[in-house]
Amino acid sequence: MNGENPTGAEVAAFFDRYSAAFAAYDAAALTALFDRPLTVLTAAHPLTHADDAAVRHYVEAMFATYHGIGLAWPVPAAVWAWPCGPDLARAEVLWLLRSEDRAEIMRFSTSYVLRRDAAAGWKLAVVIAYEEPGKLPGSQE
């Protein structure tokens, strides 16, 4: 992202932190990056995770799903972000999922809405999982 879009640079840095927390399977660190409530939209139905316990459960279920396919390193290969006012941003991320030996497992795009918290910075408020709904924890509920 270039200097003309500081929100874009901030959001790209946010997804680097997200990737590092996910690669470490650090539930506390990843959970801290989500807003409350968190809304996850799939073609099947929206899911709302209203509190810390619900978001933590969502994160742990994601970890179980991705650990099961051998994910060791989720790479935000490309991040496009647009400000939507001073404290909201929309982002599109092309994820490249790699195994421990760095082999590609899969790639897909996900859209996000982020909200800037005055104390904590950017948080994921909405996740739009349209390319991999079958792998999203809870999507089959």
Q: What is the mean pLDDT of residues 38-43?
A: 91
Predicted confidence band at 3 (pLDDT cuts at 50, 70, 90)?
low
pLDDT band for position 129 (cuts 50, 70, 90): confident
| Higher per-residue pLDDT: 68 or 51 | 51
Residue 45 pLDDT:
86
User: In whole angstroms, what is the distance from residue 28 CA to residue 68 CA?
Assistant: 20
Q: Which neighbouring-strand residues pair with 117?
A: 121
Task: Indicate the burial class of 4 (C-beta count within 10 angstroms; 0-12, 13-18, 19 or more).
Answer: exposed
Q: Check: pTM over 0.75? Answer yes or no.
A: yes
Tell me how far CA of residue 45 lies from CA of 48, 89, 91, 103, 120, in angstroms: 10, 23, 21, 32, 29
pLDDT classification of 132: cutoffs 50, 70, 90: low
